[in-house]
């Protein structure tokens, strides 16, 4: 049976969304190995942004009446857009980096409204040497100008990372989507259909699987399903992914199945395997797993398979073969080194653990399987996958896409990476756990960690406790500082409008964020408006959180986003623009000395927090080494040089801060030398600090305090000797 896996438009254009790679990797462990995959979103962008098709789009746009001044200006410069477009795409695909100098020439790229925001900042942002990044930002603005033309004159629901998102968001009824599907195709729809035809005619699949992670590719998936059902009725179509998992759990509109034959929920591996067995005549329809079908013009949910889901460790290694890995487009949407990770560079995506080990946050869909079923993989399994993916893709950048990567698994993975001498870069989503000590963060950095993202949310201790986040402002400040001091960038997910949040708490939370940026503990952040969802504790029990559900009525299509009233809270929407504007400036290191109430054009409370709250939290001690006797010792530094000097030995260590030099008695020095060599040659056989000190006393007859409080010990700790909790 030939299987085609498609990523519908649009998700990301710098890196593939991993769902099809995950499914392909799993299927390669089964009997069903005739698999093709394609990223229709990337291919759509490439088909639009080339000299031939851009010219056709300009021709079409020129026929439209009442265009804005900006779009009229773009049309007047069309010859420059057509001339530059192929060069720009090549550059953004990292295929011709020497073009940067040409692109940075002031008159090379045509400029429309997107360039207005640059003014004189570009020199300050990139200086005289940041030519490549400067060119990438200019090319991004060039692309966005063309995107503005497409939205106004060709396809109003186009976006670089979403396609017709608005009609799918909170769509309790399928009717608006159906209306759009039944409308005549626009130019972009026709390009998508042509791409789909090319793949179907070439690959001749028996089953097409469309992954739908977000509202922004719902329409693209259904447009593809529509074309397949109308023109290739012998092909079966199945849908799944994040959108069905959260939105379509109560699906009841039979019209949906004019566009697909099956919709599965939650982890896709087992439902897909059961579906293939059914289509192969090896399983009865009643024995499918978590799958919707249409029967007698009624939607029917089938979950007759009683065998468990595929264990996370047995789900195979993501397989990216078949995707156009060298043609993804990196864009620079913002000159912030952390923020750019989402749009710049192609990252191999991998999941450390299924679900969330905390699964208590009251705003989160913890009642659903993708959060609630926690199942980590071992460090050995993960490292094997990393090595396989590197061999497959030729790239060593990884994004661990967990809900929250467990710190102890990351610890073990870091040791395994170091043990195998793998040279990779990686970033992950984490919780700001106390476990992330200074030493653990240093270990993670040594293994290749460059950045973490984590939820600070409302930045208020009262509200953090109410949402059962399990962290405090103090803890977040200290952990974020541990990461940044280890050279790891930190992005914070922020939230406003949580139930009962007052105006004072909103202002105070912004002050916390300001101080975190001022202290250098954060490099990037994003404000999200709290949304009450049907599967979260707040949505399931609104009375507990003092909010009132006021809609919508349950529909026959998507049912997840809930409208609520917050009688005890402030006017949350009033603060949105001030929060957004202030945060943008904080990320650019601007205006960090402004009083936070100045960001709002209406009267607000002044913050009640002390101006040095975060600095005080960061300065608080986290314990001396004699309180870490059960922690294990890891040496990451350079081998020390031991130089005999009479009865003493000079110990010199080359570190990142220069050469450190101390003296100690020769007996102690020989002991240290032996133990460090053991650690270097066998990083998995680690002593605890207590065991080391006991060995020290036994072998030297000296008290353990002589070593623990020595200058040499301090030098070792400053040069790469870590104490890690196990």
Q: Which of 619, 640, 661 is the last residue of a domain?
A: 619
The arithmetic mean of pLDDT across residues 85-105, rounded, is 93
Q: Are residues 506 and 576 in the same domain?
A: yes
Give the CATH number, domain containing residue 218.
3.40.50.2300
What span, in angstroms and rounded, lies between the C-alpha atoms of 420 and 236? Answer: 44
Give a yes or no: residue 220 inside a domain: yes
Query: For 570-612, what is each residue's pLDDT tens digit?
Result: 999 999 999 999 999 999 899 999 999 999 999 999 999 999 9
What span, in angstroms and rounded, lies between the C-alpha atoms of 721 and 717? Answer: 5
Q: Are residues 111 and 248 in the same domain?
A: no
Q: Are residues 381 and 528 in the same domain?
A: yes
What span, in angstroms and rounded, lies between the C-alpha atoms of 48 and 191? Answer: 8
Q: 3-state DSSP call for residue 236?
A: strand
Name the H helices within 563-659.
576-587, 613-619
The arithmetic mean of pLDDT across residues 221-249, rounded, is 97
Q: What is the pLDDT of residue 280?
A: 96
Q: 3-state DSSP call for residue 3?
A: strand
Start-to-end Cα distance in the chain: 47
Query: Would you tell me how many other CB atoms lie within 10 Å of the CB of residue 31?
Result: 12
Q: Are 474 and 507 a contacting pair, CB within 8 Å?
A: no
What span, in angstroms and rounded, lies between the C-alpha atoms of 270 and 306? Answer: 11
What span, in angstroms and rounded, lies between the C-alpha atoms of 685 and 208? Answer: 49
The arithmetic mean of pLDDT across residues 464-474, rounded, is 96
Which residues, in sequence order, are bridge partners of residue 35?
3
Q: What is the strand order of the sheet 489-496 is part of?
A: 348-350, 397-400, 425-430, 449-457, 489-496, 524-529
The pLDDT-based confidence of 678 (bands split at 50, 70, 90) is confident
Give a yes or no: residue 210 inside a domain: yes
Q: What is the pLDDT of residue 320?
A: 96
Q: Are residues 554 and 449 in the same domain?
A: yes
Beta-strand ranges (E) seen in 66-221 are 207-211
What span, in angstroms and rounded, lies between the C-alpha atoms of 425 and 439? Answer: 19
Query: For 647-670, what is each residue's pLDDT tens digit?
Result: 899 999 887 778 888 899 999 999
**pLDDT of 702 higher than 80:** yes
Give a yes or no: residue 480 inside a domain: yes
For residue 502, the number of C-alpha atoms closer than 13 Å in the C-beta half-sphere is 9
What span, in angstroms and rounded, lies between the C-alpha atoms of 200 and 34? Answer: 14
Query: Would you tell me how many other CB atoms lie within 10 Å of the CB of residue 703?
Result: 12
Q: Which of 153, 188, 223 is the last residue of a domain?
A: 153
Give a yes or no: residue 336 inside a domain: no
The angle formed by the CA atoms of residues 34, 37 and 42, to the nearest 5 degrees, is: 170
Which residues, in sequence order, are bridge partners of residue 642?
651
Question: In what helix (H) or strand (E) does residue 611 lie, and over which residues does it extend?
Answer: none
The pLDDT-based confidence of 684 (bands split at 50, 70, 90) is low
Question: Residue 554, exposed/middle/buried by CB under 10 A (0-12, 13-18, 19+)?
Answer: exposed
Q: Which range has the worst mean pLDDT, 58-72, 519-533, 628-642?
A: 628-642
Q: Are 376 and 353 a contacting pair, CB within 8 Å?
A: yes
Q: In degrees rounded to 5, what are phi and psi of residue 174?
A: -80, -15
Q: 3-state DSSP call for residue 277?
A: helix
Give a yes or no: residue 466 inside a domain: yes
Which residues, in sequence order, are bridge partners of residue 496?
529
Q: List, in order, residues 6 or more apart from 66 with CB less than 8 Å away.
A: none
Domains: count for the chain: 4
The pLDDT-based confidence of 347 (bands split at 50, 70, 90) is very high
Query: For 136-188, what is each residue's pLDDT tens digit?
Result: 999 999 999 999 999 999 999 999 888 878 888 878 999 999 999 999 999 99
Query: Would you tell me how many other CB atoms lie within 10 Å of the CB of residue 488?
Result: 21
Which residues, in sequence order, are bridge partners of residue 462?
none
Question: Taking the complete model, does pTM exceed 0.75, yes or no?
Answer: yes
Q: 3-state DSSP call for residue 166?
A: helix
Query: Would you tell me how many other CB atoms lie within 10 Å of the CB of residue 297?
Result: 8
Please name which of 181, 177, 636, 247 lies closest in space to residue 415, comparing C-alpha atoms. Answer: 636
What mean pLDDT, rounded, does the chain reach? Answer: 93
Q: Are 352 and 367 a contacting pair, CB within 8 Å?
A: no
Q: Are 138 and 176 a contacting pair, CB within 8 Å?
A: no
What span, in angstroms and rounded, lies between the C-alpha atoms of 293 and 285? Answer: 10
What span, in angstroms and rounded, lies between the C-alpha atoms of 726 and 655? Answer: 26
Q: Are residues 455 and 355 in the same domain?
A: yes
Give a yes or no: residue 324 inside a domain: no
Q: What is the dihedral of CA 644, 646, 651, 652, to 10 degrees?
A: -70
Range of the domain at 145: 51-153
Q: Are residues 79 and 22 in the same domain?
A: no
- Determine the longest span between alpha carbons in the chain, in angstroms: 94
Q: Are residues 28 and 56 in the same domain?
A: no
**pLDDT of 120 higher than 60:** no
DSSP symbol at 703: -
Q: 3-state DSSP call for residue 176?
A: helix
Query: For 40-54, what is each residue's pLDDT tens digit?
Result: 999 999 999 999 999
Q: Are residues 36 and 86 in the same domain?
A: no
Q: List, in order, residues 6 or more apart from 449 with CB less than 8 Å away.
A: 410, 414, 426, 427, 428, 441, 488
The pLDDT-based confidence of 121 (bands split at 50, 70, 90) is low
Q: Are 174 and 256 a contacting pair, CB within 8 Å?
A: yes
Percentage of the chain modeled with pLDDT above 90: 85
Q: Which of 587, 619, 651 is the last residue of a domain?
A: 619
Which residues, in sequence order, are bridge partners of residue 662?
651
Q: 3-state DSSP call for residue 449?
A: strand
Query: Would you tell me how many other CB atoms lie within 10 Å of the CB of residue 465?
Result: 12
Q: Are 110 and 81 a contacting pair, CB within 8 Å?
A: yes
Q: Are residues 93 and 128 in the same domain?
A: yes
The pLDDT-based confidence of 117 (bands split at 50, 70, 90) is confident
What span, in angstroms and rounded, lies between the C-alpha atoms of 263 and 239? Answer: 5
Give the CATH number, domain containing residue 592.
3.80.30.20
DSSP symbols for 357-394:
SS---TTS-TTSHHHH--EEPPHHHHHHHHHHHHHHHS
**pLDDT of 119 higher than 90:** no
Q: Are residues 609 and 643 in the same domain?
A: no
Q: 3-state DSSP call for residue 338?
A: coil
Q: What is the strand order of the sheet 561-565 is part of?
A: 532-533, 561-565, 548-551
The angle formed by the CA atoms of residues 263, 267 and 272, to the nearest 5 degrees, is: 55
What span, in angstroms and rounded, lies between the C-alpha atoms of 395 and 21? Answer: 15
The pLDDT-based confidence of 680 (bands split at 50, 70, 90) is low
Query: For 515-536, what is each residue's pLDDT tens digit?
Result: 999 999 999 999 999 999 999 9
Q: Are residues 510 and 527 in the same domain?
A: yes
Query: Would you tell me how many other CB atoms lie within 10 Å of the CB of residue 395?
Result: 18
Q: Are residues 379 and 468 in the same domain?
A: yes
Q: List, in order, residues 6 or more apart from 526 with CB less than 8 Å away.
A: 491, 492, 493, 494, 583
How many residues are listed for the chain in this entry?
726
DSSP symbol at 435: T
Q: Which pairs with CB-CB distance under 8 Å and at least 24 residues apart come from 414-417?
A: 414/443, 414/444, 414/446, 414/447, 414/449, 415/379, 415/443, 415/447, 415/634, 415/683, 415/684, 416/379, 416/380, 416/382, 416/383, 417/383, 417/386, 417/447, 417/448
Query: For 414-433, what is each residue's pLDDT tens digit?
Result: 999 999 999 999 999 999 99
Q: What is the pLDDT of residue 126?
A: 60
**Could you tell me the CA-to-CA distances from 612 to 462, 526, 647 in Å, in that order?**
20, 23, 49
**pLDDT of 315 higher than 80:** yes
Give a yes or no: residue 331 inside a domain: no
What span, in angstroms and rounded, lies between the C-alpha atoms of 173 and 252? Answer: 10
Give a yes or no: residue 342 inside a domain: no
């Amino acid at each position: 049976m030939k299987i085609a896996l498609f990523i519908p438009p649009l998700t990301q254009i710098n890196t593939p969304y991993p769902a099809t790679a995950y499914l392909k990797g799993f299927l390669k462990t089964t009997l069903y190995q005739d698999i093709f995959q394609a990223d229709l979103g990337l291919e759509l962008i490439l088909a639009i942004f080339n000299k031939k098709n851009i010219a056709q789009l300009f021709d079409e746009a020129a026929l439209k009446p009442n265009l804005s001044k900006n779009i009229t200006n773009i049309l007047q410069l069309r010859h420059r857009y057509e001339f530059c477009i192929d060069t720009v795409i090549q550059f953004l695909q990292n295929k011709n980096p020497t073009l940067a100098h040409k692109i940075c020439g002031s008159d090379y790229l045509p400029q429309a409204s997107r360039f207005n925001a640059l003014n004189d900042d570009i020199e300050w942002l990139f200086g005289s040497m940041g030519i490549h990044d400067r060119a990438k930002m200019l090319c991004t603005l060039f692309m966005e100008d063309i995107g503005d033309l497409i939205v106004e004159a060709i396809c109003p629901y186009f976006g670089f990372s979403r396609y017709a998102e608005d009609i799918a968001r909170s769509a309790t009824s399928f009717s608006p989507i159906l209306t759009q599907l039944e409308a005549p195709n626009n130019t972009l729809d026709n390009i998508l259909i042509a791409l789909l035809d090319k793949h179907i005619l070439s690959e001749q699949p028996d089953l097409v699987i469309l992954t739908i992670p977000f509202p922004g590719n719902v329409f693209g998936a259904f447009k593809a399903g529509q074309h397949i059902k109308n023109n290739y009725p012998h092909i079966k179509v199945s849908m799944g992914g994040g959108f069905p998992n959260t939105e379509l759990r109560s699906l009841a509109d039979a019209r949906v199945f004019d566009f697909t034959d099956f919709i599965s929920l939650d982890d896709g591996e087992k439902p897909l395997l059961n579906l293939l067995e059914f289509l192969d005549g090896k399983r009865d329809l009643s024995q499918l797993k978590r799958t919707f079908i249409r029967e007698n013009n009624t939607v029917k949910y089938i979950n007759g398979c009683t065998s468990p889901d595929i264990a996370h460790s047995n789900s195979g290694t993501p397989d990216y073969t078949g995707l156009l890995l060298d043609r993804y487009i990196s864009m620079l949407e913002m000159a912030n080194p952390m923020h750019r990770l989402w749009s710049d560079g192609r990252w191999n995506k991998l999941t450390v653990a299924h679900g969330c080990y905390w699964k208590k946050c009251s705003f989160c869909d913890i009642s659903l399987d993708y959060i609630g079923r926690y199942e980590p993989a071992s460090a050995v399994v993960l490292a094997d996958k990393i090595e396989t993916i590197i061999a497959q893709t030729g790239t060593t950048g990884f994004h661990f896409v967990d809900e929250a990567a467990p710190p102890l698994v990351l610890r073990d993975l870091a040791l395994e990476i170091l043990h195998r001498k793998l040279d990779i870069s990686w970033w992950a989503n984490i919780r700001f756990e106390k476990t992330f000590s200074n030493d653990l963060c240093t270990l993670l950095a040594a293994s290749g960690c460059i950045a973490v993202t984590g939820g600070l949310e409302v930045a208020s201790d009262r509200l953090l406790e109410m949402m059962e986040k399990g962290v405090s402002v103090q803890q977040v400040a200290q952990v974020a500082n541990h990461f940044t001091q280890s050279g790891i960038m930190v992005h914070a997910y922020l939230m406003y409008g949580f139930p009962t949040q007052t105006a004072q708490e909103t202002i105070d939370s912004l002050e916390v964020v300001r101080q975190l940026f001022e202290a250098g503990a954060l490099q990037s952040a994003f404000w999200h408006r709290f949304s009450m969802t049907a599967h979260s504790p707040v949505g399931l029990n609104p009375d507990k959180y003092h909010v009132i559900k006021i809609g919508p009525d349950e529909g026959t299509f998507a049912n997840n986003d809930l409208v609520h009233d917050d009688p005890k809270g402030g006017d949350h929407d009033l603060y949105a623009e001030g929060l957004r504007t202030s945060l943008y400036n904080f990320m650019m290191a601007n205006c960090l000395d402004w009083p936070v109430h100045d960001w709002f054009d209406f009267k607000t409370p002044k913050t009640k927090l002390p101006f040095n709250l975060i600095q005080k939290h960061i300065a608080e001690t986290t314990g001396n080494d004699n309180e870490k006797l059960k922690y294990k010792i890891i040496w990451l530094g350079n081998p020390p040089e031991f130089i005999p000097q009479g009865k003493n030995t000079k110990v010199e260590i080359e570190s990142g801060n220069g050469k450190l030099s101390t003296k100690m008695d020769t007996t102690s020095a020989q002991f240290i030398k032996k133990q460090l060599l053991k650690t270097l040659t066998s990083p998995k056989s680690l002593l605890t600090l207590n065991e080391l000190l006991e060995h020290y006393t036994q072998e030297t007859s000296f008290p353990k305090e002589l070593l623990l409080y020595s200058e040499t010990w301090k030098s070792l700790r400053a040069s790469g000797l870590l104490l890690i909790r196990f």
